[in-house]
């Protein structure tokens, strides 16, 4: 822990010197360990703040105003575009003198952004070999670097000066640490197959205020370059989120329901005019399967 912290501080120091935007240094220790462990941790006697902490100079944080001055090292989707919020309309300059672009890794796409059979795939999968370098797409500051057992495995989230965030999942090794300033093209980790992944690949997401947008809107994954210099985002870019939240049918005509406390298959079936047997068939479960609160159940 102590070693990791000192490395993190050094990296930030060096990066800060390398670019004029990052002028301040860290004031307090920050949490650089995976936060999944519930054990309280302290470094050098200081309290480690885990959620919504602003433990380092706030002038380092890119686009604070766009993000309600939050800097959350735990939660990917905070703050979040609310489904149906039609006031979301923004034009972002993707590259400026202080923010260039570098392709995260140059392999072919193995799975695109969009609806898969049962769920929304909110990123793009790029083929790679375990150990291949993964590069920061734009300049920015690392917000999250942690391990997520059931999902992204080792992953990193960077907030960029252009207002977007990018996520890099299933890494075999994390190199960048939270609060580290980073330039486009810097190696932030090594590709791998950790978390919920079959076969080594990079799961790459582009987000605005906690919601994924289609990376193809701004990036050419065949040319390995940016398509446009600035991007207009509005609520139509997050339409899938609204559908997902409201339970409206997705483009494949399926309907999903999020399981709540007190639900039973019989109850859900009654609400959606379907039978318990059909619910079991649609979801590959039996009548005796325990319904886990928060999980999605296909009802049509």
The binding site for Zn ion (CB under 5 A) comprises 123, 125, 203
Residue 196 and residue 210: Cα distance in Å, rounded? 21
Q: Which residue is nearest to Zn ion (CB)?
A: 203
Nearer to Zn ion, 129 or 300 (CB): 129
Residue 170 and residue 155: Cα distance in Å, rounded? 6
The burial of 216, by beta-carbon neighbours within 10 Å (0-12 exposed, 13-18 middle, 19 or more buried), is given as middle
Q: Nearest distance from residue 89's CB to Zn ion, in Å?
A: 28
Between strands 225-226 and 219-220, the pairing is: antiparallel
Return the SS3 of 170. Answer: strand
Vertex 209: Cα angle to 68 and 8 (nearest 5): 80
Nearer to Zn ion, 110 or 252 (CB): 110
Residue 67 and residue 80: Cα distance in Å, rounded? 9
Nearer to Zn ion, 139 or 205 (CB): 205
Q: Nearest distance from residue 111's CB to Zn ion, in Å?
A: 6
DSSP state of 101: B
The burial of 246, by beta-carbon neighbours within 10 Å (0-12 exposed, 13-18 middle, 19 or more buried), is given as exposed
Nearer to Zn ion, 125 or 165 (CB): 125
Of 256, 234, 238, 35, residue with least CA distance to 143:
35
Q: Is 131 left (phi over 0), alpha (psi -120 to 50) or beta?
A: left
Nearer to Zn ion, 119 or 271 (CB): 119
Q: Nearest distance from residue 202's CB to Zn ion, in Å?
A: 8
Nearer to Zn ion, 161 or 244 (CB): 244
Q: Nearest distance from residue 290's CB to Zn ion, in Å?
A: 27
Q: Which tokens go with 52?
A: 């919504």
Q: Which residues contact 296 (CB under 8 A, 6 or more apart)?
A: 119, 256, 257, 258, 259
Q: Nearest distance from residue 121's CB to Zn ion, in Å?
A: 6
Cβ neighbours, 10 Å, residue 174:
24
Q: Nearest distance from residue 123's CB to Zn ion, in Å?
A: 5
Nearer to Zn ion, 33 or 132 (CB): 132
Nearer to Zn ion, 71 or 201 (CB): 201
Q: Nearest distance from residue 78's CB to Zn ion, in Å?
A: 21
Beta bridge partners of 133: 190
- Give the length of the chain: 300
Residue 177 and residue 29: Cα distance in Å, rounded? 12
Q: Nearest distance from residue 165's CB to Zn ion, in Å?
A: 16
């Amino acid at each position: 822990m102590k070693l990791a912290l000192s490395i993190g501080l050094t990296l930030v120091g060096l990066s800060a010197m390398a670019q004029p935007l990052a002028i301040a240094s860290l004031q307090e220790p920050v949490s650089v360990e995976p936060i999944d462990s519930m054990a309280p941790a302290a470094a050098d006697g200081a309290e480690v703040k885990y959620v919504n902490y602003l433990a380092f100079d706030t002038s380092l944080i890119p686009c604070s105003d766009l993000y309600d001055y939050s800097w959350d090292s735990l939660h990917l989707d905070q703050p979040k575009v609310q489904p149906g919020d039609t006031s979301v309309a923004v034009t972002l300059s993707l590259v400026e003198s202080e923010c260039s672009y570098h392709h995260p890794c140059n392999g072919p796409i193995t799975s695109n952004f969009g609806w898969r059979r049962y769920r929304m795939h909110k990123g793009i999968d790029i083929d790679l070999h375990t150990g291949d370098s993964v590069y920061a797409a734009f300049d920015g500051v690392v917000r999250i670097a942690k391990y997520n057992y059931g999902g992204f495995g080792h992953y990193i989230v960077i907030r960029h000066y252009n207002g977007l965030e990018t996520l890099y999942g299933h890494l075999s090794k994390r190199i960048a640490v939270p609060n580290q300033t980073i330039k486009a093209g810097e190696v932030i980790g090594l590709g791998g197959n950790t978390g919920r992944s079959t076969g080594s690949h990079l799961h790459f997401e582009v987000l605005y205020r906690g919601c994924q947008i289609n990376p193809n809107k701004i990036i050419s994954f065949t040319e390995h370059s940016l398509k446009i210099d600035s991007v207009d985002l509005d609520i139509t870019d997050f339409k899938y989120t609204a559908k997902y939240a409201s339970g409206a049918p997705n483009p494949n005509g399926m309907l999903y329901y999020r399981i709540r406390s007190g639900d039973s298959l019989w109850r859900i079936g009654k609400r959606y005019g379907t039978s318990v047997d059909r619910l079991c068939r649609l979801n590959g479960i039996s009548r005796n399967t325990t319904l886990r609160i928060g999980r999605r159940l296909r009802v049509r």
